[in-house]
Amino acid sequence: MPLLRIALAQINTAVGDLSGNAEKIIHYTEMAREKDVDLITFPELSLCGYPPEDLLLKRQFLDDCRKTLEDTVTKTSGITCVVGFPEMCGASVYNAAALIHDGKLIGIYRKVLLPNYGVFDEKRYFEPGKEGFVLVLNGVPIGINICEDSWFSDGPAKVEVQKGGARLIVNISASPYYAGKLEVREDILRKLALENECFILYNNLVGGQDELIFDGGSFVLSPKGELIANSRQFDEDMLVFDLEIAEDECPDLIPTGEVRRFSIPSVATKQKQIIPEVRGRWLDYPEEVYSALVLGVRDYVRKNGFPKVLIGISGGIDSALTAAIAVDALGAEAVVGVTMPSQFSSEGTKGDARVLSDNLGIRLISISIEQVFKSYLDMLKPIFDGMAPDVTEENIQARIRGNTLMSLSNKFGWLVLTTGNKSETAVGYCTLYGDMAGGFAVIKDVPKTLVYKLAEFKNRQAGRHVIPESTIEREPSAELRPDQKDKDSLPPYDKLDAILRAYIEQDMAYTEILKMGFDEDMVKRVIKMVDKNEYKRRQGPPGIKITPKAFGKDWRLPISNQYTKLYLSSSS
């Protein structure tokens, strides 16, 4: 049986950095060649980064991609490669895979199934391909797929196997992360392996791009659906493995129009030797989520060229977790904390801000906002004369803090990380231009109950209370008026998060949520809060998606929306 050595290069690309991505592709190709690899694959659109969004509407961008590909082709002799790139052909653009053999472009496969749901807008940019592609390498027929192509039984894999004789399917992918997504992918691809009785080689992208995390975790499945090799999660990796596989059973197969076929010998020349490559089991929850957040921060900060980040440290759990993630992502010297106490700040939170910063080893700047707050109240006194204090005065404090952070950001060039969680973002328990002010919202998609789990994970992993116990145990409070507690304004977080999950992530109807056993008034109140705070979320910074539905590209609700009213009245 022929022996095929394959490398899945799970690289971290940068959107638009064509030359940087090409260099990386060439570098991995050289490493693979040294290991006698026959075939190396790279993720979907790895030449331009994923998702390039409306860069794809620029003709010059597509031209530059073509030029970069041509250049890359000439620099990858002595091996066979599959490289994702956007292909312009006349007025049409395809999400394509270049098949490169010994420094020559020998074929192009075009993605057939284009996702246009959730965070995906691929039908905005691409025409669908019409046929499968089978590359016969050293007598082994290999079907090519791009991401979504393998998600459905009647995709191109079927014709590649049935009509093109493919014995294995290579899937180059850029599949965005959410907690549990890996299992979903494995299940879908296991089904494909079993249905087609073929090997599946799944090569995912890794890295953060704005709100999306690509988690890597590339893997190989046997025709029986067994996981036989896998690569690291949340990190670059090159998974090299050997496959002994029966030879092509139909070498003289004639293409039908549904599938193209191209035969080439391998150009790898050195002595073969099986290299075992199984990295062991996947990360557990919530470590997986924590790792995603760390990668998301690291890549957003680095890809946008910031030297340091700045975090408002309140002494509460949200900012503590955000700071811990930032330190794991960037190192303590790249993280600056700012504590901005007011008359309503408790001794407990003020002390915790200091202890946390010491534990993390970060610099902590202390700035009291009391005088500025007083000067705002003086300024507004003639206008607000005789009116009772309300949320206005609370928001002023939050906005002074936001401005203070932005002033440091402007003066020193540091990126402000915001600290709001998904629960408060959902119900609008946050201040626009106040605690929402900043460039990147680290835990924007993390529900409050998961914030606690992640804080406990962090302490467990560190083997000490990096995040102070008192921070974890203190009752949550915004500390914007005397004796304020979150529970005065919101349902208990375990209930709130369960309702939010049903309403936001599962699109469940009001009546269905009621059947889960929640109080009618509570459910109505939560839904109303979610709907009416769309305007706030629309102006919030981007943040890391870790659930099946985040407030970002996969949440496109109108601001002017009268539906809530009807919905809650007609359903009760």
Site for its own copies in 196-215 (CB under 8 A): 208-210
| Residue 147 bears catalytic tag | yes
- Does the protein bind its own copies through residue 303 (CB under 8 A)? yes
Among 3, 26, 64, 279, binds its own copies (CB under 8 A): 64
Beta carbon nearer to its own copies, 306 or 457:
306
What is the Cα 105 distance to its own chain's centre?
A: 32
- Spatial neighbors of 173 by CB under 8 A, at least 6 apart, are 43, 44, 146, 147, 202, 203, 204, 205
Question: Is there a contact between 204 and 215 (Cβ–Cβ < 8 Å)?
Answer: yes
By three-state DSSP, how is residue 95 classified?
strand
Structure tokens at 47: 């030449």
Least Å distance between CB 403 and its own copies? Answer: 5
Catalytic residue among 24, 44, 181, 545: 44
Beta carbon nearer to its own copies, 63 or 226:
63
Beta carbon nearer to its own copies, 222 or 431:
431
Least Å distance between CB 371 and its own copies? Answer: 5
Among 3, 14, 106, 472, binds its own copies (CB under 8 A): 14
- Does the protein bind its own copies through residue 36 (CB under 8 A)? no
Please spell the DSSP secondary structure of 334-400, one letter per residue: GEEEEE---TT--HHHHHHHHHHHHHHT-EEEE---HHHHHHHHHHHHHHHTTPPP-HHHHHHHHHH
- Does the protein bind its own copies through residue 152 (CB under 8 A)? no
Work out the angle at residue 164's Cα, subtended by the Cα atoms of residues 166 and 261, and round it to the nearest 5 degrees: 100
- Does the protein bind its own copies through residue 335 (CB under 8 A)? no
Please give the Cα distance from 94 to 405 (Å, whole number).
44
- Does the protein bind its own copies through residue 372 (CB under 8 A)? yes
- Does the protein bind its own copies through residue 31 (CB under 8 A)? no
| Residue 65 bears catalytic tag | no
Least Å distance between CB 485 and its own copies? Answer: 21
Residue 286 preceded by cis peptide, ω within 30:
yes
In 3D space, the residue among 443, 447, 450 whose CA is nearest the CA of residue 544 turns out to be 443
User: Helix 448-462 vs helix 317-330: angle between axes, to the nearest 10 degrees?
Assistant: 50
Please give the Cα distance from 359 to 361 (Å, whole number).
6
- Does the protein bind its own copies through residue 4 (CB under 8 A)? no
| Residue 111 bears catalytic tag | yes
DSSP state of 559: S
- Does the protein bind its own copies through residue 60 (CB under 8 A)? yes
Catalytic residue among 48, 147, 198, 430: 147
- Does the protein bind its own copies through residue 274 (CB under 8 A)? no
- Does the protein bind its own copies through residue 337 (CB under 8 A)? no
Reduce the secondary structure of 404-429 to three states and give it as a string.
HHHHHHHHHCCEEEECCCHHHHHHCC
Q: How far is the first Cα of the chain from the last one, in angstroms, to the nearest whole number?
A: 68
- Does the protein bind its own copies through residue 404 (CB under 8 A)? yes
Binding mask 522-541 for its own copies (x = CB under 8 A): -------------x--xxxx
- Does the protein bind its own copies through residue 273 (CB under 8 A)? no
Work out the angle at residue 147's Cα, subtended by the Cα atoms of residues 144 and 152, and round it to the nearest 5 degrees: 90
Q: Between residue 463 and residue 482, which ones bind its own copies under the rule CB under 8 A?
A: none
DSSP state of 503: I
Please give the Cα distance from 377 to 404 (Å, whole number).
17
By DSSP bridging, strand 80-89 and strand 92-101 are: antiparallel
Beta carbon nearer to its own copies, 121 or 287:
121
Q: Pick the piece of the chain touching its own copies (CB under 8 A) from 144-152, 225-233, 364-372, 462-470.
A: 364-372
- Does the protein bind its own copies through residue 484 (CB under 8 A)? no
Among 261, 308, 399, 458, binds its own copies (CB under 8 A): 399
- Does the protein bind its own copies through residue 542 (CB under 8 A)? yes
Question: Is there a contact between 242 and 3 (Cβ–Cβ < 8 Å)?
Answer: yes
- Does the protein bind its own copies through residue 385 (CB under 8 A)? no
Q: What is the helix (H) or strand (E) element at residue 75, kind and residue range?
A: none
- Does the protein bind its own copies through residue 367 (CB under 8 A)? yes
Beta carbon nearer to its own copies, 375 or 461:
375
- Does the protein bind its own copies through residue 558 (CB under 8 A)? yes
Q: Pick the piece of the chain touching its own copies (CB under 8 A) from 53-61, 138-146, 233-241, 287-295.
A: 53-61
Catalytic residue among 48, 81, 87, 111: 111
Among 66, 128, 225, 376, binds its own copies (CB under 8 A): 376
- Does the protein bind its own copies through residue 371 (CB under 8 A)? yes
Number of residues near its own copies (by CB under 8 A): 90
Beta carbon nearer to its own copies, 269 or 562:
562
- Please list the active-site residues: 44, 111, 147
